[in-house]
Chain A
Amino acid sequence: MEEGRLVKWVKNVGDVVKTGDTIGEVETDKAIMELVARGDGVLRAHLVPEGTTSPVGAIIGVIAAADEDISALTASAGPADAAPAEAAPTAVEAVPANSAPASEPPASEPSAAAATSTTPHDAGSVRSSPLARRLAAERGVNLSTVHGSGPGGRVIRRDIEASAASETPATAPATSATVSATVSASVSAAAPATTSTKSAPSVVPTAMQIEGEYQDIVLTQMRKTIARRLGESIGPIPTFYLTSEIDMTQVGTLRTQMAATGDQFKVSVNDIIIKAVAIGLTRHPEVNAHWLGDSIRYFRAAHVGMAVATDDGLIVPVIRDAQSKGLGDIGREAKDLAKRARERKLAPAEFSGGTFSVSNLGMFGIDQFTAIINPPEAAILAVGATDTKPVWDGTSFVPRQRMRVTLSCDHRIIDGAVGARFLQTLRQLLEAPLMMLY
């Protein structure tokens, strides 16, 4: 994550704050996080107005004692060094939740940098070296959001490189332990704090109203991230596609039987598919893998991501250890994750770390489709609608419930036969669900 947007200030300048208080809301790549105070004192300054996008590490506010001199931090010109002594004011930084992948990037220095002039510059008044300008243009970095460490706040090459180095892949292949260790205290506290007094805005899909000939809508962080990440998928990844038609009649029977034992035991087709996929992955670890550039990481457990459509775009929350969860747990978890995904209230740990993804467009009447791999995963399963079709059983055509799935495979990790064998197992498990018990 390179930048975040301050959506709103919750505490005003002059308010007394304690460690842990929510002082603002920050939009990250995928969700709106609560910005939490990491010190006691008075919120002395908002250094950016609501709606401003700042690079990770930029100082956006100051908490200090009521009478403390904070001029060094609020000075907008020159690289004043805010070397914090113990009694120094606490600079509120735009720190992202999953601020570091498993290996900590060296560019955490910018966060200790001097007061940035974060009042928004227009492009013309940003001081930058010609080289920095060119690099920013080449890398799609917004120059006005980069802190300049040169004289007079000049943005120079190392500043552009620092802003690029603080980028984090959205699905860092980190174990949950690593991620939580690097998550800043303020944000990890924010995750459960989403149940605070703030009520989530209700999200009702409406048709877009276009005024005039056309309407330009600036990309949200989420859109930008989807575009960037999936652009990094279909281009460089050598992908092939395997389609299989699966007989879902037995799955239907299973569901009916489970529902008959009690309303609380209802499960969805999706839950069963996720479970079958997870078991299949543990039997075919060659498909349960990540491309790491110079190596392939094969996982023991199946952390299955399920694609969820939100108003703003696609997000893939992960059901961890799906292979060892019962259908009930999978169902409850899937429902909760989907709901919170639509409310943009997922914690980053919940939409990263997946080893395989499933995307289901069956509910929209899509018979079959090819999904785009979620890098660095090896494959993604696209699930179509289940329909009644005539199937030859040797003597006659009989009506059966049929569903088409398409597996997109990264050929750097998976060969055709490997992918086909996985699909074969998946089909066997779904066509005879009792075999999932084996």
Chain B
Amino acid sequence: MAVITYRDALNMALREEMHRDDRVFLMGEEVAVYQGAYKVSKGLLQEFGEMRVVDTPITELGFAGVGVGAAMTGLRPIIEFMTWNFALLAIDQVVNAAAKMLYMSGGQFPMPIVFRGPNGAALQLGAQHSQAWESWLAHIPGLKVVAPATPYDAKGLLKAAIRDDNPVCFLEGEMLYNTKGEVPDTDYIIPLGKAEVKREGEHVTLVAHGKMVLVALQAAEQMAKDGIACEVVDLRTIRPMDVDTIVQSVKKTNRCVVVEEGWEVCGVGAQVVDYVQRHCFDFLDAPVLRVHQADAPMPYTKSLEKAAKPDLPKTIVAIRQVLYLD
């Protein structure tokens, strides 16, 4: 099986789905001639032509709206935001149009649209270009929110998102694009709404998504040296969240740490904690702890950014705390 980058896995998914269904098209800034701001759409213009791979002006609200209209009238658009931070300018189309169209039209207007792009922090992108958007989006009924952590998941989930008839917000990551993993070149789908236990363990459950899955796996590897077996649950889909997998895991381990990119207040982790306390109350030996970004806009200074981000040492501290090890 080939080992390819997350970026190439997404490229593969786009290519396969555009072949499979000629109503699927890609639209966004620099997706065509430039081959993609992050090269995710490399080679697609050459293969499918300018009616299927469409460059846009710098007008997120505009081209998101065009996508919504296209979806309402029978096409299956994939709208790329150069980063999800810029989607803030299109949020009305995402939340008020795309999310609510099927409902408000009484089922008359379909909305098989995918909004995708890198999400969260990278390195020194600054406060306005480092925000994690999953909790804003996951709040909205009518949207599906997906965050793959590995190349394998990226391809399977993007294909599933494109085939899903609902509006799907697909959250990638600049720092994930270069990560590598095994990806089959077959036509496979990972169902939306299903989490995956990336590593089994019996002492503590770590719940994470996106980049933080890699941090959680590192934490598990480190704790294993002390004989602590961490179970890592990769949410994969934020909305709808796979509560059963989380609950089953915490019932087994009796303790839980959530690792997430976003800020504390009303973050995705807060929702995970709610599910856990509600469904695993009699199984908890310790409060559920969260590891998240410091409550401040992301600093630009390298050292401050490092201090603000959730990372391996902070995760280890939380794990040790729920195990009453210190």
Contact = CB atoms under 8 A, between A and B. Distances in A.
B324 A131 contact: no
Contacts of B281: 130
Interface stretch (A149-157, A303-311, A327-335, A348-356): A149-157
B324 A156 contact: yes
15 contacts: A129-B286, A130-B283, A130-B284, A131-B254, A131-B282, A131-B284, A131-B285, A133-B282, A149-B324, A150-B324, A151-B324, A156-B285, A156-B286, A156-B324, A157-B285
Interface string B271-302: 00000000001111110000000000000000
Interface centre among A130, A149, A156 (most CB of B within 10 A): A130
Interface in A129-187: 129-134, 149-151, 156-158
Interface residues of B, number: 8
A24 B308 CA distance: 58
B73 to A, nearest CB: 53
Contacts of B254: 131, 157
Across chains A and B, which 7 residue pairs bring their CB atoms closest together, nearest first?
A: A131-B285, A134-B282, A157-B285, A129-B285, A130-B282, A130-B281, A130-B284
Contacts of B283: 130-131, 134
Contacts of B324: 149-151, 156, 158
Main secondary structure, interface of A, reads helix
Interface in A111-133: 129-133
Contacts of A134: 282-283
Contacts, number: 27
Given A133-B282, A150-B324, 4 more contacts: A129-B286, A130-B281, A130-B284, A151-B324
Interface of B: 254, 281-286, 324
A391 to B, nearest CB: 65
Contacts of A131: 254, 282-285
Nearest to B281: A130
Contacts of A157: 254, 285
A157 B285 CA distance: 6
A148 to B, nearest CB: 11
A133 B254 CA distance: 13
A197 B286 CA distance: 51
A396 to B, nearest CB: 74
Contacts of A158: 324
- Residue from A133, A149, A151, A157 having most chain B Cβ neighbours under 10 A: A157
Contacts of A130: 281-285
A146 to B, nearest CB: 14
A157 B203 CA distance: 12
A150 B324 CA distance: 7
A149 B325 CA distance: 11
Contacts of A129: 284-286
B253 to A, nearest CB: 11
Contacts of A132: 285
A13 B285 CA distance: 38
Contacts of B286: 129, 150, 156
A130 B286 CA distance: 8
Contacts of A150: 286, 324
Interface string A227-263: 0000000000000000000000000000000000000
A187 B282 CA distance: 40
A151 B323 CA distance: 12
A151 B284 CA distance: 15
Residue of B281, B284, B285, B286 ringed by the most chain A CB atoms within 10 A: B285
B115 to A, nearest CB: 40
Among B281, B282, B283, B324, chain A packs the most CB atoms within 10 A around the CB of B324
Interface in A259-315: none
A159 to B, nearest CB: 10
A151 B322 CA distance: 11
Contacts of B285: 129-132, 156-157
A138 to B, nearest CB: 10
Contacts of A133: 282
A66 to B, nearest CB: 36
A158 B322 CA distance: 13
Nearest to A149: B324
Q: Which of A131, A150, A156, A158 counts the most chain B CB atoms within 10 A?
A: A131
Interface in A331-364: none
A193 to B, nearest CB: 41
Contacts of B282: 130-131, 133-134
Nearest to A132: B285
A151 B283 CA distance: 18
Contacts of A151: 324
B289 to A, nearest CB: 13
A157 B253 CA distance: 12
A131 B285 CA distance: 5
A158 B281 CA distance: 17
B97 to A, nearest CB: 44
Nearest to A134: B282
Nearest to B321: A151
Contacts of A156: 285-286, 324
Contacts of A149: 324
B210 to A, nearest CB: 30
B41 to A, nearest CB: 50
A131 B286 CA distance: 8
Nearest to A79: B324
